[in-house]
Chain A
Amino acid sequence: MSSNAEVRPGQRTPFSRYRHSLWLLTQRDLRVRYSTSLLGYFWSILDPLVMAGIYWFVFTQVFQRTVGNEPYIVFLLAALLPWMWFNGAISDCTRAFLREAKLIRSTRIPRTIWVNRLVLSKGIEFLAAIPVLIIFAIIYRAQINADAIFFPLAILIQAVLTAGVGLIVAPLVVFFRDLERAVKLILRFLFYASPIIYGTSDLPENLQFWAAFNPLSGIFSLYRAAFFPDELDWFVVGVSAVMSLLFLGIGLLVFSRTERAVLKEI
């Protein structure tokens, strides 16, 4: 009945157990989303589509646009889709502990998993939305070039950055509840402060240097390089990579310092 001979859960390596749990939680998120509505996949791409539609209309039909590149919808989506990943993961991170409080109180998986699973599931949604970008690129005959091989690098840097920021935000919200609203505001500001509806090169000369310190600048320019090789600026990308690692370092530090108190609080 209860033989101890076989491999017990505790005997798996911590790393494989972490990976296993991470995958289970991500699967759960996706399954919940897609089993509760037939339109699951459609919903996840609808948001960026509507946003892209609005900006495309405002900036190509209403105003005479001087920023960005042609075709603008592809230029827009190449940064908007990854922005959705960042934005979605960070705003979900504000509730990372509170929403799963019961589960956190009953299992002892390493706690960073509650942030990382959000980064992963939003990342998978991002990957699932990439066909949208490809379809628009085909429709508008955007030329794809060799820089597309940097796409995975951009994904990697963004994953590091998102996890880092998430690790800072998630525990702090437990202590300061109104931080949740502050984060929403900051994200909205960041949307306009990052090269999404424009490119870094559209900024005034004296701002361009400082814009590089927004790690999203380099990440988005790396994504865009696949269609617009002029967007690629290795200085900006380099700063992004360093900043992202810095955020991850700070995030891990904040997280490990506050973990004890977070567990008591939830």
Chain B
Amino acid sequence: MTDTVISLADVGIRFRRNRRSRRSLKDLFSGSRRRSRSGEFWALRKVSFTVQRGEAIGVVGRNGQGKSTLLKLVTGVVLPDEGTVDVIEGVAPLIEITGGFVDDLTVRDNVYLTAGLHGMTRKQVDARFDDIIDFAEIADFIDTPYKHLSSGMKVRIAFAVISRLEEPIILVDEVLAVGDKAFREKCYRRIEELLAGGRTLFFVSHNERDLRRFCARGLYLDKGALVLDGPINDVLDRYNAQYGIKPA
């Protein structure tokens, strides 16, 4: 059995430059001159790498260089235009974690719903329910509709659910920037715990300290290309050298 859990081969994905301007049927019928054909650009191109089970990888790059897109490709919520993405194990994506939560339902219903949509059975959620609520520290709000929670609580419960998914691969996209310091530290400890349990981590952050804390290997993305794939310290040094930020 191979230990490669993620492999990307020559992956490329392109977006329309002007994503927000939607086409309409009206445009379709108007003359070709009036049709504004917005240009396309490659958000990522010719990206290839493999990840072994248990690796912790930090993705580094400036804003808009394709970091989040890379994570979405690995999660499988966008599909590449060229190349192949193979992910052979389940993924717990800490991306848009509050996405599955419904305002009108209670916290309890939401926990069952979100965990269920990520593939857990009712019994599995039952077994973890108390842990999840404890972790999020919202025992008093179990039967409160989700919309009445504070924004901090919303993120806490969402993190608690997704980090309990027991999936072998975890993807983290800067979600930890929210929440108070104590909770953030708790999330970090949870991630370390998961790493110690042999999970594979994919981590996107601008915070150098966090990157060095969790990751051994780094991927440096610039202008849609994978510029450097090496030990996290080398990657961060290169990034800093290129964009003139003094090492912390």
Report which A residues bind B (CB closer than 8 A): 1-2, 4, 6-10, 12, 17, 20-21, 24-25, 28, 31-32, 35-36, 102-109, 175-179, 182, 259-260, 263-265
Contact = CB atoms under 8 A, between A and B. Distances in A.
Contacts of B89: 10
B113 interface: yes
A173 to B, nearest CB: 10
15 contacts: A1-B193, A2-B197, A4-B197, A4-B198, A8-B90, A9-B120, A10-B90, A31-B109, A102-B98, A102-B99, A105-B95, A107-B100, A108-B75, A108-B76, A177-B24
Contacts of A108: 75-77, 91
Dominant secondary structure at the A interface: helix
Interface stretch (B59-67, B164-172, B210-218): B164-172
B197 A10 contact: no
A218 to B, nearest CB: 30
A1 B197 contact: yes
Interface string B41-77: 0000000000000000000000000000000100111
Dominant secondary structure at the B interface: loop
Nearest to A17: B119
Contacts of B96: 102, 105-106
Given A8-B90, A102-B99, A104-B77, A24 B19 contact: no
Contacts of A105: 72, 77, 95-96, 99
Interface in B101-120: 102, 104-105, 109, 112-113, 116-120
A106 B95 contact: yes
Contacts of B91: 108
B34 interface: no
Contacts of A24: 112-113, 116-117
Interface residues of B, number: 49
Nearest to B164: A2
B167 A176 contact: no
Nearest to B90: A10
Interface string B177-216: 0000000000000000110011100000000000000000
Given A8-B167, A9-B167, A176-B24, A28 B77 contact: no
Contacts of B102: 28, 32
Nearest to B80: A260
Given A35-B105, A109-B117, A179-B25, A265 B19 contact: yes
Given A2-B166, A2-B193, A21-B116, A103 B100 contact: yes
Contacts of B28: 176
A263 B78 CA distance: 6
Interface string B232-246: 000000000000000
Contacts of A20: 116, 119, 121
Contact of A107 (B13, B26, B117, B193): B117
Interface in B219-233: none
B166 A4 contact: yes
Nearest to B103: A32
B26 to A, nearest CB: 6
Nearest to B27: A176
Nearest to A100: B99
Contacts of B95: 105-106
A220 B124 CA distance: 43
B33 interface: no
A266 to B, nearest CB: 10
Nearest to B19: A265
Contacts of B165: 9
Contacts of B76: 108
